Amino acid sequence: MATRLPLIAGNWKMHKTPAETAELLSALVTRLPAALSDREVVVAPPFIALETAARALRGSPIRLSAQNLHAETHGAFTGEVSGPMLKAVGCQYVIIGHSERRQYCGETDEQVAQKVKAAQRDSLTPIVCVGETLAERERGDMLSVISRQIRAGLAGQTAQAIAALVLAYEPIWAIGTGKTASPEQAQEVHAAIRHTLVELAGQSSAAAVRIVYGGSVKPDNVDGLLAQPDIDGALVGGASLQADSFARIVHFE
Protein backbone atom coordinates (compact mmCIF):
# COMPACT_ATOMS: atom_id res chain seq x y z
CA MET A 1 0.00 0.00 0.00
CA ALA A 2 1.41 3.42 -0.92
CA THR A 3 1.63 5.87 1.93
CA ARG A 4 0.17 9.18 0.87
CA LEU A 5 0.97 12.31 2.83
CA PRO A 6 -2.37 13.90 3.74
CA LEU A 7 -2.86 17.32 2.17
CA ILE A 8 -5.05 20.06 3.66
CA ALA A 9 -5.47 22.99 1.29
CA GLY A 10 -7.39 26.21 1.81
CA ASN A 11 -8.94 27.73 -1.30
CA TRP A 12 -9.66 31.31 -0.35
CA LYS A 13 -11.50 32.06 -3.61
CA MET A 14 -12.19 35.82 -4.00
CA HIS A 15 -11.51 36.71 -0.37
CA LYS A 16 -8.79 38.63 1.47
CA THR A 17 -6.79 41.70 0.51
CA PRO A 18 -3.01 41.63 1.04
CA ALA A 19 -3.43 43.20 4.50
CA GLU A 20 -6.10 40.65 5.46
CA THR A 21 -3.89 37.89 4.08
CA ALA A 22 -0.98 38.92 6.29
CA GLU A 23 -3.30 39.01 9.31
CA LEU A 24 -4.86 35.60 8.65
CA LEU A 25 -1.56 33.90 7.93
CA SER A 26 0.17 35.29 10.99
CA ALA A 27 -2.73 33.94 13.10
CA LEU A 28 -2.53 30.59 11.31
CA VAL A 29 1.23 30.24 11.69
CA THR A 30 0.94 30.66 15.46
CA ARG A 31 -1.67 27.88 15.60
CA LEU A 32 0.39 25.30 13.70
CA PRO A 33 3.62 23.59 14.70
CA ALA A 34 6.87 25.02 13.34
CA ALA A 35 7.44 21.81 11.36
CA LEU A 36 4.98 19.27 9.97
CA SER A 37 6.01 15.81 8.87
CA ASP A 38 2.78 13.80 8.83
CA ARG A 39 0.65 16.18 6.78
CA GLU A 40 1.05 18.95 4.26
CA VAL A 41 -0.70 22.32 4.48
CA VAL A 42 -1.33 24.63 1.54
CA VAL A 43 -3.13 27.96 1.19
CA ALA A 44 -4.40 29.47 -2.05
CA PRO A 45 -4.99 33.23 -1.68
CA PRO A 46 -6.03 35.42 -4.62
CA PHE A 47 -3.29 36.42 -7.11
CA ILE A 48 -2.83 39.91 -5.67
CA ALA A 49 -2.09 38.53 -2.21
CA LEU A 50 0.38 35.79 -3.20
CA GLU A 51 3.48 37.85 -2.68
CA THR A 52 2.31 39.03 0.73
CA ALA A 53 1.43 35.44 1.59
CA ALA A 54 4.87 34.18 0.53
CA ARG A 55 6.46 36.72 2.85
CA ALA A 56 4.14 35.84 5.75
CA LEU A 57 4.86 32.11 5.28
CA ARG A 58 8.64 32.36 5.16
CA GLY A 59 10.09 29.85 7.61
CA SER A 60 6.72 28.12 8.15
CA PRO A 61 5.79 24.69 6.76
CA ILE A 62 2.69 26.10 4.99
CA ARG A 63 2.97 26.05 1.21
CA LEU A 64 1.53 28.38 -1.34
CA SER A 65 -0.88 27.69 -4.19
CA ALA A 66 -2.55 29.80 -6.84
CA GLN A 67 -6.20 29.32 -7.76
CA ASN A 68 -5.71 29.26 -11.54
CA LEU A 69 -3.13 29.87 -14.27
CA HIS A 70 -3.00 30.53 -18.00
CA ALA A 71 -1.54 27.78 -20.17
CA GLU A 72 0.90 30.08 -21.99
CA THR A 73 4.06 31.36 -20.32
CA HIS A 74 3.58 34.98 -21.45
CA GLY A 75 1.94 37.04 -24.18
CA ALA A 76 -1.02 39.21 -25.07
CA PHE A 77 -3.55 37.66 -22.68
CA THR A 78 -5.07 40.56 -20.80
CA GLY A 79 -5.98 39.76 -17.23
CA GLU A 80 -4.21 36.39 -17.15
CA VAL A 81 -1.38 35.08 -14.99
CA SER A 82 1.14 32.44 -16.08
CA GLY A 83 2.91 29.55 -14.37
CA PRO A 84 6.36 31.20 -14.40
CA MET A 85 4.80 34.26 -12.73
CA LEU A 86 3.29 32.07 -10.00
CA LYS A 87 6.58 30.30 -9.54
CA ALA A 88 8.36 33.65 -9.24
CA VAL A 89 6.20 34.67 -6.28
CA GLY A 90 6.73 31.38 -4.48
CA CYS A 91 3.85 29.09 -5.49
CA GLN A 92 4.40 25.35 -5.47
CA TYR A 93 0.82 24.34 -6.26
CA VAL A 94 -1.96 25.53 -8.52
CA ILE A 95 -5.66 24.68 -8.43
CA ILE A 96 -6.96 23.79 -11.90
CA GLY A 97 -10.50 23.27 -13.18
CA HIS A 98 -12.37 24.33 -10.07
CA SER A 99 -16.10 23.95 -10.68
CA GLU A 100 -16.60 27.69 -10.22
CA ARG A 101 -14.23 28.32 -13.14
CA ARG A 102 -15.94 25.63 -15.20
CA GLN A 103 -19.39 27.09 -14.38
CA TYR A 104 -18.77 30.85 -14.46
CA CYS A 105 -15.79 31.14 -16.82
CA GLY A 106 -16.71 28.35 -19.22
CA GLU A 107 -13.53 26.41 -18.58
CA THR A 108 -13.58 23.13 -20.53
CA ASP A 109 -11.96 19.74 -19.94
CA GLU A 110 -9.60 20.55 -22.84
CA GLN A 111 -8.50 23.79 -21.21
CA VAL A 112 -8.01 21.92 -17.96
CA ALA A 113 -5.73 19.47 -19.78
CA GLN A 114 -3.69 22.34 -21.25
CA LYS A 115 -3.38 24.00 -17.85
CA VAL A 116 -2.29 20.74 -16.20
CA LYS A 117 0.48 20.42 -18.81
CA ALA A 118 1.46 24.06 -18.30
CA ALA A 119 1.67 23.63 -14.54
CA GLN A 120 3.93 20.60 -14.94
CA ARG A 121 6.10 22.46 -17.45
CA ASP A 122 6.50 25.23 -14.87
CA SER A 123 7.18 22.85 -11.95
CA LEU A 124 3.92 23.56 -10.16
CA THR A 125 1.93 20.67 -8.71
CA PRO A 126 -1.59 20.74 -10.15
CA ILE A 127 -4.60 20.22 -7.87
CA VAL A 128 -7.09 19.10 -10.51
CA CYS A 129 -10.74 19.49 -9.51
CA VAL A 130 -13.58 17.24 -10.64
CA GLY A 131 -17.14 16.79 -9.43
CA GLU A 132 -20.75 16.30 -10.42
CA THR A 133 -23.81 18.54 -10.17
CA LEU A 134 -26.81 17.45 -8.12
CA ALA A 135 -28.75 16.79 -11.35
CA GLU A 136 -25.97 14.53 -12.65
CA ARG A 137 -25.91 12.63 -9.35
CA GLU A 138 -29.68 12.21 -9.30
CA ARG A 139 -29.65 11.01 -12.91
CA GLY A 140 -27.11 8.34 -12.00
CA ASP A 141 -24.44 9.95 -14.18
CA MET A 142 -22.08 10.85 -11.35
CA LEU A 143 -19.34 8.32 -12.02
CA SER A 144 -19.40 8.70 -15.79
CA VAL A 145 -19.15 12.51 -15.52
CA ILE A 146 -16.19 12.25 -13.16
CA SER A 147 -14.48 9.60 -15.26
CA ARG A 148 -14.88 11.85 -18.34
CA GLN A 149 -13.44 14.86 -16.49
CA ILE A 150 -10.42 12.84 -15.37
CA ARG A 151 -9.74 11.15 -18.70
CA ALA A 152 -10.02 14.44 -20.60
CA GLY A 153 -8.23 16.55 -18.01
CA LEU A 154 -5.30 14.13 -17.77
CA ALA A 155 -5.15 13.30 -21.49
CA GLY A 156 -1.62 12.62 -22.69
CA GLN A 157 -0.15 12.32 -19.19
CA THR A 158 2.48 9.71 -18.40
CA ALA A 159 2.01 7.40 -15.42
CA GLN A 160 4.86 9.19 -13.66
CA ALA A 161 3.24 12.60 -14.18
CA ILE A 162 -0.11 11.30 -12.95
CA ALA A 163 1.51 9.91 -9.80
CA ALA A 164 2.70 13.42 -8.87
CA LEU A 165 -0.70 15.12 -9.27
CA VAL A 166 -3.30 15.92 -6.68
CA LEU A 167 -6.95 15.33 -7.59
CA ALA A 168 -9.75 17.08 -5.75
CA TYR A 169 -13.23 15.57 -5.71
CA GLU A 170 -15.64 18.43 -5.13
CA PRO A 171 -19.32 17.56 -5.61
CA ILE A 172 -20.83 20.84 -6.81
CA TRP A 173 -23.92 20.39 -4.63
CA ALA A 174 -21.70 20.36 -1.54
CA ILE A 175 -19.70 23.52 -2.29
CA GLY A 176 -20.64 26.46 -0.08
CA THR A 177 -23.98 24.86 0.78
CA GLY A 178 -23.21 23.32 4.17
CA LYS A 179 -24.26 19.97 2.64
CA THR A 180 -21.18 17.76 2.91
CA ALA A 181 -21.01 14.42 1.18
CA SER A 182 -21.09 11.76 3.87
CA PRO A 183 -17.79 9.95 4.41
CA GLU A 184 -19.30 6.91 2.64
CA GLN A 185 -20.56 8.96 -0.34
CA ALA A 186 -17.17 10.62 -0.72
CA GLN A 187 -15.26 7.35 -0.31
CA GLU A 188 -17.38 5.71 -3.04
CA VAL A 189 -16.36 8.40 -5.52
CA HIS A 190 -12.73 8.53 -4.37
CA ALA A 191 -12.45 4.76 -4.89
CA ALA A 192 -13.97 5.14 -8.38
CA ILE A 193 -11.49 7.93 -9.16
CA ARG A 194 -8.63 5.70 -8.06
CA HIS A 195 -9.98 2.92 -10.26
CA THR A 196 -9.98 5.31 -13.25
CA LEU A 197 -6.40 6.28 -12.38
CA VAL A 198 -5.39 2.59 -12.32
CA GLU A 199 -6.71 2.31 -15.89
CA LEU A 200 -4.81 5.42 -16.96
CA ALA A 201 -1.54 4.98 -15.10
CA GLY A 202 -1.35 1.51 -13.56
CA GLN A 203 -1.66 0.29 -10.01
CA SER A 204 1.43 1.78 -8.41
CA SER A 205 1.08 5.28 -9.89
CA ALA A 206 -2.64 5.35 -9.03
CA ALA A 207 -1.83 4.32 -5.48
CA ALA A 208 0.50 7.32 -5.14
CA VAL A 209 -2.05 9.98 -6.19
CA ARG A 210 -3.51 12.06 -3.41
CA ILE A 211 -7.25 12.45 -3.85
CA VAL A 212 -8.61 15.18 -1.60
CA TYR A 213 -12.26 15.93 -0.84
CA GLY A 214 -13.81 19.40 -1.05
CA GLY A 215 -17.32 20.66 -0.30
CA SER A 216 -18.33 22.11 3.07
CA VAL A 217 -15.41 20.57 4.96
CA LYS A 218 -15.64 21.90 8.53
CA PRO A 219 -13.98 21.23 11.89
CA ASP A 220 -16.85 18.91 12.85
CA ASN A 221 -16.83 16.68 9.76
CA VAL A 222 -13.17 16.53 8.75
CA ASP A 223 -12.22 13.60 10.98
CA GLY A 224 -14.87 11.28 9.55
CA LEU A 225 -14.01 12.18 5.97
CA LEU A 226 -10.26 11.77 6.42
CA ALA A 227 -10.74 8.39 8.11
CA GLN A 228 -11.80 6.91 4.76
CA PRO A 229 -9.14 4.86 2.99
CA ASP A 230 -9.15 6.81 -0.29
CA ILE A 231 -9.64 10.31 1.14
CA ASP A 232 -6.16 11.77 1.35
CA GLY A 233 -6.94 15.29 2.43
CA ALA A 234 -9.30 18.21 2.04
CA LEU A 235 -9.76 21.24 -0.17
CA VAL A 236 -11.43 23.73 2.13
CA GLY A 237 -13.29 26.87 1.08
CA GLY A 238 -15.25 28.86 3.69
CA ALA A 239 -13.66 27.24 6.74
CA SER A 240 -10.17 28.16 5.51
CA LEU A 241 -10.92 31.88 5.92
CA GLN A 242 -10.56 31.80 9.69
CA ALA A 243 -7.41 30.72 11.48
CA ASP A 244 -9.19 28.75 14.21
CA SER A 245 -11.36 26.64 11.94
CA PHE A 246 -8.62 25.99 9.38
CA ALA A 247 -6.12 25.08 12.11
CA ARG A 248 -8.62 22.60 13.55
CA ILE A 249 -9.08 21.05 10.11
CA VAL A 250 -5.30 20.81 9.68
CA HIS A 251 -5.16 19.01 13.04
CA PHE A 252 -7.65 16.35 11.88
CA GLU A 253 -7.41 13.12 13.85
Confirm or reject binding of residue 214 to ligand 13P (CB under 6 A). yes
Query: DSSP string covering the chain, please?
Result: ------EEEEE--S---HHHHHHHHHHHHHHS-S--SS-EEEEE--GGGHHHHHHHHTTSS-EEEES--BSSSSSS-TT--BHHHHHHTT--EEEES-HHHHHHS---HHHHHHHHHHHHHTT-EEEEEE---HHHHHTT-HHHHHHHHHHHHTTT--HHHHHT-EEEE--GGGTTSS-PPPHHHHHHHHHHHHHHHHHHH-HHHHHH-EEEEESS--TTTHHHHHTSTT--EEEESGGGSSHHHHHHHHT--
Confirm or reject binding of residue 233 to ligand 13P (CB under 6 A). no
Closest approach of ligand 13P to the CB of residue 214, in Å: 4
Identified catalytic residue from 40, 70, 98, 190: 98
Confirm or reject binding of residue 217 to ligand 13P (CB under 6 A). yes
7, 11, 45, 230: which one contacts ligand 13P (CB under 6 A)? 11
* 195 catalytically annotated: no
Site string for ligand 13P, 60-99 (x = CB under 6 A): --------------------------------------x-
The stretch among 54-62, 192-200, 201-209, 232-240 that binds ligand 13P (CB under 6 A) is 232-240
Residue with smaller CB distance to ligand 13P, 176 or 202: 176
From CA 35, how far away is CA 140, in angstroms rounded? Answer: 44
Closest approach of ligand 13P to the CB of residue 181, in Å: 11
Among positions 154-173, residues that touch ligand 13P (CB under 6 A) are: 170
Residue with smaller CB distance to ligand 13P, 200 or 209: 209
Closest approach of ligand 13P to the CB of residue 17, in Å: 19
Identified catalytic residue from 40, 100, 132, 170: 170
Closest approach of ligand 13P to the CB of residue 239, in Å: 6
Active site residues: 98, 170
